[in-house]
């Protein structure tokens, strides 16, 4: 026996998987990333297998680092019979807010073996030295 919910019958049960589909689709197209830091720099690594260097854009606007890219399809249909394809294609974009001590001018990126490595150097901390003020007689 199927229980009715507020006169909607099966609709809520059928609708539920589609309600969060856009979030899951975005997660599916977003490359896995990791971030770390040491005394000298912040580092972000992102898995981008099959994405060409020319299809990746790394930019900094204010305190936000943006990595955009696209993995393009490589289909050849000449006489091939496809049974299934589990490969992922499409555009992606990730934003990372940079800490106050990040040196946005010194950001570098390297692509090797399907991993994009972005290095953001830390700026030298401001030295707040004590300053002696001379008092003059007025």
Helix (H) or strand (E) holding 35: strand 33-37
CATH number of 32-74+85-121: 2.60.40.790
pLDDT tens, 56-115? 999 999 999 999 999 887 666 666 776 766 667 788 999 999 999 999 999 999 999 999
**DSSP per residue, 101-126:** TB-GGG-EEEEETTEEEEEEEBPPPP
The mean-pLDDT minimum among 13-22, 29-38, 77-86 falls in 13-22
Coil/strand/helix, residue 99: coil
Q: How confident is the model at residue 4 (pLDDT cuts 50, 70, 90)?
A: very low
């Amino acid at each position: 026996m199927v229980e009715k919910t507020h006169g909607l019958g099966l609709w809520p049960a059928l609708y539920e998987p589609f309600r969060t589909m856009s979030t899951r689709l975005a997660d599916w197209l977003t490359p896995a990333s990791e971030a770390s830091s040491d005394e000298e720099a912040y580092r972000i690594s992102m898995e981008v297998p099959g994405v060409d260097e020319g299809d990746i854009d790394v930019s900094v606007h204010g305190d936000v680092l943006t990595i955009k890219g696209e993995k393009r399809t490589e289909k050849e249909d000449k006489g091939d019979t496809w049974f299934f394809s589990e490969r992922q294609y499409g555009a992606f974009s990730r934003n990372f807010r940079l800490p106050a001590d990040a040196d946005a001018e010194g950001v570098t990126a390297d692509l090797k073996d399907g991993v994009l490595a972005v290095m953001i150097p830390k700026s030298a901390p401001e030295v707040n030295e004590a300053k002696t003020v001379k008092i003059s007689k007025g």
